[in-house]
Structure formats: structure tokens, C-alpha cells
Amino acid sequence: MGPATARLFQAHAEEVWRFLKYLGVREHDLADACQEVFLVAHRKLPEFRGESAPRTWLYGISLRVAKTWRRRGQLVPLSEDERSVGPSQEQERERRDTHELLCWALDRISEVQREVFVLHEIEEVPMVDVAARLECGVFTAYSRLRLARRGLKRALAEKGVKR
């Protein structure tokens, strides 16, 4: 890895990790998926001409990587082992529950809606860039965002009602 990749990693690895997580890469795959993003970035770096900010460029790579991992993840459901938490980890569990709740809700909307929502709402990428990244029109991106919000709210409400 050259110094340029190292600097990209230092500056953006944590964002990429979070991005992948909310795109639906399972927690136990995150490290590998994150590594894959930077390997691809390293390979493609010579082609990078600065048409976008490095962060959004990395997000573009992450979108594709996440898609692959998500598909793989769907084939292998989480085992009960991975889900068990010791009673002494109460606080850790509370913290995670809040975050898992959003991931759980995100699992319930469509992939395209999820991508727009995570890019714009969580990563705060401007809508025009979201549209460019996802190769759709700005109007489409907005409409997906609206549908995503509606779907997420519905999912969350359902959770609230059930419990």
C-alpha cells in the first residue's frame, strides 16, 4: 500500500466502516468488507481524477462492495451464538440495541431506498452527489428518500406497537 492509500485509510476508514454497516453488511463481516473497499481503492487510485471528493469516491466503491457482502450475508443468517450477550455486558447491549434498531428498520426497506437514506441522512452527502453516485436523477433520489423515511417510520412504529 502506498502512502496515498494509507492517507485515504487514515482519513476515511471509520466513515467507510460506518457506511458499510448501515448499508447492511453484517457486523462480523465489516472488517473484511472495509478491507476490500480499500484494496479496490488502492487498485483504482491511478484512475481517480478528483471528479468527486475522495470520501464520495470511496462511498461509490463501498456501495458495490456492500452489495456483494449483503447478498452473501443473506445466505448465511446470524447464528444464535453470535447473538448471545452475557449479562455483565448490559450497558454494551443497551448501546448496541439503539443502533441495531436502525439497522433492523433499514433491513425492511428496499435496497435503493436504503442507499439514498444512508448516503444522505447518515453520511450527510448532498442530494445531487447521492444522485450522481447512484446514477439516478435528483428527483428520483428525493422520491426514494421520501419512501425510505416513510418505510422506516412504519417499521419503527411497528416495533413500538409490538413491544
Give the Cα separation of 59 and 130 in Å (integer): 10
3-class DSSP assignment, residue 128:
helix
Residue 6 sits in the site that holds other proteins (CB under 8 A)? yes
- Residue 93 CB, nearest approach to other proteins (Å): 6
User: Which residue lies nearer to other proteins by CB, 59 or 63?
Assistant: 59
Residue 43 sits in the site that holds other proteins (CB under 8 A)? no
User: Which residue lies nearer to other proteins by CB, 5 or 67?
Assistant: 5
Residue 134 sits in the site that holds other proteins (CB under 8 A)? no
Burial status of residue 16 (CB atoms within 10 A of its CB: 0-12, 13-18, 19 or more): buried
**Interface map 53-72 toward other proteins (x if CB under 8 A):** xxx-----------------
Cα distances (Å, whole numbers) of residue 123 to 20, 118, 127, 143:
11, 6, 11, 18
Q: Which of 7, 43, 44, 72 binds other proteins (CB under 8 A)?
A: 7
Give the Cα separation of 113 and 15 in Å (integer): 20
Judged by CB under 8 A, the stretch of 35-43, 63-71, 108-116 that binds other proteins is 35-43
Query: Phi and psi of 123, rounded to 5°?
Result: -90, -5
Residue 139 sits in the site that holds other proteins (CB under 8 A)? yes
- Residue 9 CB, nearest approach to other proteins (Å): 5
Site residues for other proteins, 106-125, by CB under 8 A, read 121-124
